[in-house]
A = this chain, B = another copy of it.
Amino acid sequence: MSKYDLSQDLKRITSTTMADIVELRLREYLKKKSFKPGDPLPKELELAEALGVSRNVVREALSRLRMLGMIESKKKRGMILARPDILGAFERVLDPLIIDKDTLQDIFELRLVLEIGLADLLYIRKTDKDIEELEHIAKNEVRTESSFRIKNEIAFHGKLYEISGNDTLKRFQNMLLPIFGYVVASEKEFRSGKVTHSDLVEILKKGNKEDFRQGMLEHLKPHFDKLEKTETTDTLTD
């Protein structure tokens, strides 16, 4: 490491293009005018003229907003403000092959945090039908070969998120799946704690929140152990 962390102090020169500015302006405009979903936006040419740029630039900016789901546009009717899909933007960048190692680790930790913290929602919203389905998944799992275990792992934990009744959370988890798969696949062997899925279902049926959290903690323990281990041998990466 050099004496001064230059990349920290000197913030990178970002050649701001017109498209960047227009994107920002449009976002401000939408907010300021407090557009609601369904409201029509000005036409491209009007925007271009008002902003003093070419229609091309406006289109680049609009293309970005459209990608984020903030606007929709139809051939003649013009553009309307849509209700943006928060996670939609996220999904596009979430590719384990591109994300750097540190962030990958961060996200994996995030999963552990989520699953432990999930207990409260589960106990508020679980139904008998949910328990049945969980039981079914857990039962199925015992007699399957090891190659399918990851699939079952996903099914079980996915169902938990579903029970949480939080759509955003569920989608978030679904989005992170490829990353979890990637991290797990990079481990030598499939790790599983002493508490099995069947055990967790049993707790969900008869035990309370704290029991479940304790069980989940035990179930995920190998991962946490790995964390504590890497913690001590941690060095300055990058």
Segment at the interface with B among A1-9, A145-153, A194-202, A223-231: A223-231
Q: Cα distance A124–B229 when bound, in Å?
A: 10
CB 8 Å contact bits of A95-122 with B (1 = contact, 0 = none): 1011110110011011011111111110
Considering only residues 31-85 of chain A, those with a C-beta below 8 Å from chain B are: 31, 34, 37, 56, 59-61, 63-64, 67-70, 74-75, 81, 83-85
The distance in angstroms between the C-alpha atoms of A74 and B12, with both chains bound, is: 13
For this chain, the copies found in one complex come to 2
- Cα of A112 to Cα of B209 in the assembled complex, Å: 15
A210 within 8 A of B: yes
A169 sits at the interface (CB 8 A) = yes
Query: Which one, B31, B63, B116, contacts A117 given CB within 8 A?
Result: B116
The residue on B at minimum CB distance from A75 is: B15
CB-CB under 8 A from A68, the residues of chain B are 89, 92-93
B83 touches A70 (CB 8 A): no
Contact A23 B67 (CB under 8 A): yes
Q: Give chain B residues whose Cβ lies under 8 Å from the Cβ of A125.
A: 231
Which residues of B have CB within 8 Å of A83?
98-100
A110 touching B63 by the CB < 8 A rule?
no
Asked if B93 and A86 make an inter-chain contact with CB atoms under 8 angstroms apart, the answer reads: yes
Residue A94, interface by CB 8 Å = yes
Asked if A192 is an interface residue, CB under 8 A from chain B, the answer is no
Indicate the size class of the contact surface on chain A. Answer: 35 or more
Quick one: closest B residue to A64, CB to CB? B67
A117 to B110, CA, bound (A): 9
A174 at the interface (CB under 8 A from B): no
With A23-B67, A70-B98 in contact, do A169 and B109 touch (Cβ < 8 Å)? yes
A81 to B224, CA, bound (A): 33
A133 at the interface (CB under 8 A from B): no
Sample (11) of A-B pairs whose CB atoms are under 8 Å apart: A56-B59, A60-B60, A68-B89, A84-B93, A85-B93, A88-B93, A102-B167, A103-B167, A109-B166, A113-B121, A121-B227
**Chain A contacts to B: CB under 8 angstroms:** 15, 19-20, 23, 27, 30-31, 34, 37, 56, 59-61, 63-64, 67-70, 74-75, 81, 83-86, 88-90, 92-95, 97-100, 102-103, 106-107, 109-110, 112-121, 124-125, 164, 166-169, 172, 210, 213-214, 217, 224, 227-228, 231
